[in-house]
Structure formats: structure tokens, C-alpha cells
Chain A
Amino acid sequence: MIEVQALSKTYGEIPAVQNLSFKVNKGEVVGFLGPNGAGKTTTMKIITGFMAPTSGEVKVAGFDVFENPLEVKSRIGYLPETPPVYGDMRVEDYLFFAARLKKVPRDKVAVHVREAVEQTNLGDVRRRMIQNLSKGFRQRVGLAQALVSKPEVLILDEPTVGLDPRQMAEIRELIRNLRGQHTIVLSTHILPEVEASCQRVIIINQGQIVAEDSIDGLLKSQSASRRITLKVKRPGAYLLQELKGLQGVLSVVAEANEGQYRLEVDNRDETVEQIAQKVVAGHMGLLQLHVQALGLEDVFIHLITSEQGGAK
């Protein structure tokens, strides 16, 4: 659905995006992940035809963004970082305006607006002035604007930024409901958001793609280690030494809490088994043994820091 080929964009001398290539298939929900200033917004603005790249090409539904901008734009619903809403308009009037602007057929405008209002739960504020709405509602109006033309592709730039946790959950729920009806590209620097809504993740840092995979694949490929929290009743001084001596244990740290240890171990189940055996055999009174895979957050930080290290 979206094909990005060797995309580069420089602002004056400063490169924002360098040689970016990726594909998004029809119906996919793809998370665009990266720290602030990584080039997420720039890439999205180029896909929507808002700005031109310095080099490279972008195709949406087979149309080149620069040769057929109108064809591409009519297939995209875009929610920028700041929702593009007019404060002096009422919610419904604004959506009618957006629908007409996006060339929704005349006889379908009213139906589309009603459906967008229902999808985003804006029924209660339909007749309110947008300037009097809270940020969360404005965000939803922005989202309704993106949905109103029933586009094949939805591009959402940090849709939950600046919202309170409950509003965030609502927006995420909304995006989950949109899955299957649209191809969605979603940018964010908030990890739970990706885990909640996306099937595939593209991690971008300093204008380049660092990783591109499904969430599970990313976790598997990147997490060669697991974390174990261990708690015993009668800790002995020798326990620390013995644990360190075990094969597959990468590091052991005694925590401030008496008898509690944090271990980093490899991926083999045998390692966990051995640790348990050691503790039980030493009659130390095993209280807790909690195995945890590394989360997306660890993977993300790992990827980004290693990339920066590599670049230097």
C-alpha cells in the first residue's frame, strides 16, 4: 500500500531522514517508533504530500506522491501532531468542511460525518465550538477529520501525545477498532502504544531505520537474555559466589532488600533450573523466583544506544 524508496530529506544542511526504505502492506498497522527528532514526522509529512523529499520516491496505492499528489491525498487521512482544527467552528461544521474539502461525494457527506462522529464518540459535543473543547476532545475531532473521507490509509502522528492516561487508553482503543478497515501508520515514542495497537514496528533513529519487525520477532531477535528476580529466606554469603559461578548467568546483583537478588541470564531454561536447584539444595528457603523476558522498552533503548555508539 505504501512504498518508500531511498527517501532522504535535508533541512538546509541538516539531514532529517537518510535513505529510508520500507513497505507497508494493505490492512497492516505499523508503528513508527523513535526518539524525539528521529525523523518520524518528516517521513509522515512526505508520505502525505505535505512536503517534498530531497531525494527518493514514495508511492501510495501505486501512485507516486509527486506525480499524482491529488490521487494520493484523496486516499490518505492524516492526523498531524497538532490537530488541524479551527477554533471558531462547531465540531459538526468542521467535519462537514473537511469532508467537502476531501471530495467526499455530495450525497454521502452527511453519512460520512455521522459515522466519523460515532466512531470517535463525539456525539455529545457535536454542536460545541472547538475552541471550548479539551485537548483530548480536540484530538478526537482531529481523528474524526482523518476518518471522514474513509481513506484507505491512515497516518497518525503521535495521536496520544499530551493526553491523560484515560484519554490515551480511549484513543488506543479507537485505533484498535480501526484495525482491518484501514492501513494504518502510527508514529509514537511511547512504547505501550505500539504494543497495544501495532502488528509491526519500524524503529527509526537519527533519520535511519534501525530495526523493522513484528513485535514478537523484535523481542526474540534482540533479547538474548532474561531477567530473574530471586528471593530467599536465609541468604548466605556464599550464594552470590555460587550463582555467579553458574553457566549461563551473566550478572548477579544483590538488592537493597535483604535476601533479594537480580540476575541476568541467558535464554536457556536449564539455567533457571540450575539456579532453583542450587537454592533448594542449600536449604535457603526459596521465596520467589520470577523470570522475565526483556520488554520492548529494553529492546528499544538497546537498539538506539547501540546505534548511536556505532555511529561514533
Chain B
Amino acid sequence: MSGAFTIAAKDFRSLVNSPLFFLLAGVCCAIWSINFLNLLGDFAQRGMFGQEASIHFTVFLSHLSTVNIILLFAIPALTMKLLAEEKKMRTYDLLLTAPITATDIVLGKFLAGYGAALVLMTISFLYPLTTSLVSDFHFGPLLTSYFGLSLLLAIYVAVGLFSSSLTQSVMFSVILGVLFILSLWFLSQGINVSDRPLVQSVMEHVSLGEQFSGFIRGSLRISSVVFFVSTAVLFVFLTQRVVESSRWR
């Protein structure tokens, strides 16, 4: 287990110190800033016309969906190097001949990637947080939404890590990662595939959007938490299998 933390510490440091991370964080900040300002402006205008609106659903929710869309692309770009680059630069040899298990390697990489993703998420949390200085609102739904987002990011990181384990090329790893995450989102489209209630309820259950909506409304559903965590664990496990199997090829 100590091996996992050694790798996590080293990879987290090299991730957040890389120019790529600065670039990503910069782009995220720029987009979120402009977007959040617009949202706040719209909200203020509505207030002037006397329309009732909740800041959570109008401003924060839109902000959250922008954050989600950007991170959906940014996280595979963040995780692309984790394993693909190791293979390309032959530093994989060091990891695979060190007295640590494949599980240590993958867990370490996951923690590093997740840590970096949480840094980006924390930046996005600053926007609603500063709003609290000038306005009064319930923190509850905001916090559950961000908790849901943090679980969602765990899935993104696990999927990104998995696609990074499949290839030596960082480019290909990003593309694969984005495709995998998009397909997870589009899985819910399968609801219309069949009229049978069983199929429909299964598709509804595996839909990221459906599971996420609970967090947005401010409720913490254990089933949703379990769904997000187990999806992340599934992809981490798949990555572990890929790393382990490299010895047998």
C-alpha cells in the first residue's frame, strides 16, 4: 500500500506542476469566469422584473453543467500521461520491476489523477462560494451537488486512467477517454430502445444524468453513491487487469 502512496505523491506533484495543468486550469478559469458572470447578470435582471427564481437552479446549476462539460474533456487530458507516457518513456520498467503490485501502481495513479481533478473542481467551487458574500442562499443543495460532482469526477479519472492503460500514445488515450465518458452519458438514451419496463428501469439506473439529478435536488441517495463509486471501481479494476496482463504478453 505504501507503494501506492509513493506513486500518488510523485505523480500528483508532477501533474499539477506540468505546463499542461496550468494551461487547463487557465482555460477553465477563463470560461467559467465569463459564464458565471453572465449567469449572475441574467439572474439579477430577472430579480429586477420581479420574477421569482432560485439562485441554485438558475445560476449554480448552469455553472455546474458548464463545469461538467469542460471537465469531461479536461480530465482525460489530465490522465492521459499517467500510464501511456510511462510505457512510451520506458519508465514502466521501473514500476513493474519494483517490489510493488499492479494494484499499488493503479491505485497510486488513480489517486494522483483524482487529486488533480479535485483541484480543478475546487477552483470551480470558488465561484458559488464568493457569491455567498453578496447573497443569501442554502448551502445544502450546493454541497450535495458538488459531492455528486466529485463522485462523477472519480468516474472520469478512472475511465481516463483505463484508456491511458490501453495505449502508448497520449493523443489516442485522450480521444479514447472522451469517447468512453461520452458513451457513459449517452447510455441513458437507451431508455427509448425498448418498451419493456425492466429494460427501461435498468437503463434509467445506469444513466449518469438520472443518478446525478438527485444530488442536484439536494438529496443524498445511497443507491446513487453506490452506483458512482462502483462504476469508478470497475474502471480502476479493469486498469489493474490491463497492467497486470502486461506481464503475460
Could you list which residues of chain A lie within 8 angstroms of chain B, going by C-beta atoms? 48-52, 69-71, 73-74, 76, 78, 80-82, 84-89, 97-98, 100-103, 145
Contacts and interface: CB of A to CB of B under 8 A. Distances in A.
Q: In terms of DSSP, what is the predominant structure of the interface of chain B?
A: helix
A212 to B, nearest CB: 25
B99 A102 contact: yes
B94 interface: yes
A80 B95 contact: no
A102 B6 CA distance: 10
Contacts of A103: 2-3, 99-100
A97 B10 contact: yes
B110 to A, nearest CB: 17
Contact of B93 (A78, A87, A88): A78
Given A51-B248, A103-B3, A89 B97 contact: no
A71 B92 CA distance: 19
Interface in B201-249: 246-249
A258 to B, nearest CB: 55
B97 A49 contact: yes
A88 B97 contact: no
Sort chain B's interface into a size bin: 20 to 34
Nearest to A102: B98
Q: Which of B93, B94, B100, B101 has the most CB of A within 10 A?
A: B94
Given A51-B248, A88-B18, A101-B6, A74 B99 contact: yes
Contacts of A51: 246-249
7 contacts: A49-B97, A50-B247, A70-B99, A70-B101, A71-B99, A84-B94, A88-B17
Contacts of B14: 86, 88-89
A13 to B, nearest CB: 14
Contact of B97 (A76, A81, A82, A85): A76
Contacts of B75: none
A127 to B, nearest CB: 16
Contacts of B92: 84
B116 to A, nearest CB: 15
A98 B7 CA distance: 10
Nearest to A76: B97
Contacts of A48: 97
A84 B91 contact: yes
